[in-house]
Amino acid sequence: MSTVRQITNEVAIAGQVTLDDLQQLLEAGYRTIVNLRSPYEPGFLEDEQAKVERLSLTYISMPIQAANLSCDNILPVIQQLLALPKPMLIHCDNGIRASVIVLMQIAIEQGINAEAAFQKVKELGLLSD
């Protein structure tokens, strides 16, 4: 299976998953797969949504480009994630976008304001200026 990094009991991140990975994720107890990739990205898995839904998992497509990651466009994504069935896997091409979103979500849940959380993510080197 692709490298899945368990961040909390409810959220894990990964790069692009394969169709075979999806069955293993179901067996591991995941209930939701969130794809941050856009269909035009190289290596985008065209059949991912259909396969996820055949496995009776929730599939959410939230395309967000790495170059466009900002505090303002990450907050609506985090708000949508809070309502989804858990545990969930959030993935992109290499795990960086998923990392940014999950780290900001955790920081906000711990009482750090969104702007400070975004700055911390930048300090970690996950975003370029």
Whole-angstrom distance, CA of residue 21 vs CA of residue 73: 29
Is the model's pLDDT at 16 over the cut of 90? Answer: yes
Q: What CATH number is given to the structural domain containing 67?
A: 3.90.190.10
Assigned domain for 10 exists:
yes
**Segment 90-105 mean pLDDT:** 93
Assigned domain for 31 exists:
yes
Exposed/middle/buried for residue 63 (C-beta within 10 Å: 0-12, 13-18, 19+): middle
Range of the domain at 78: 4-123
Number of domains in the chain: 1
**Segment 112-129 mean pLDDT:** 83
Please state, rounded to an integer, the average pLDDT across all residues of the chain: 91
Assigned domain for 108 exists:
yes
Assigned domain for 129 exists:
no
